[in-house]
Amino acid sequence: MRTFMTAAVIGICMVAGLTLSAEAGETKAKMEKAKGEMKADTEEMKGELKGAKEEMKGNDTKAAMERAKGNVKGAGERTKGKMNEMKEKMKD
């Protein structure tokens, strides 16, 4: 009886440990995605600010280029965030 109880307790602990591990990986995956989104928004905002500065100077073409560069960098950061999210999900 003692052996059975010990085995049951060990089994319950193993299942609980696996469950907690899965939740931790999911949380980290969400954090990676959020970081990517935050960095993307920052890059897009930088592009907008640089574009606005160039417009004030009268350089409409350069302003459009700065905005486009910000959007491209933002898209790259979003992609990195998604890739990191997928890596964390794959670890589980």
Per-residue pLDDT of the chain (92 residues; tens, 9 = 90+): 666 566 666 666 555 555 545 566 778 888 888 888 998 999 999 999 999 999 999 999 999 999 999 999 999 999 999 998 888 888 76
Asked whether the beta carbons of 47 and 68 are under 8 A apart, the reply is: yes
pTM over 0.85? The answer is no
- Cα–Cα distance measured from residue 59 to residue 33, given in angstroms and rounded to the nearest whole number: 35
Asked whether the beta carbons of 70 and 47 are under 8 A apart, the reply is: yes
DSSP state of 1: -
pLDDT reported for residue 2? 66
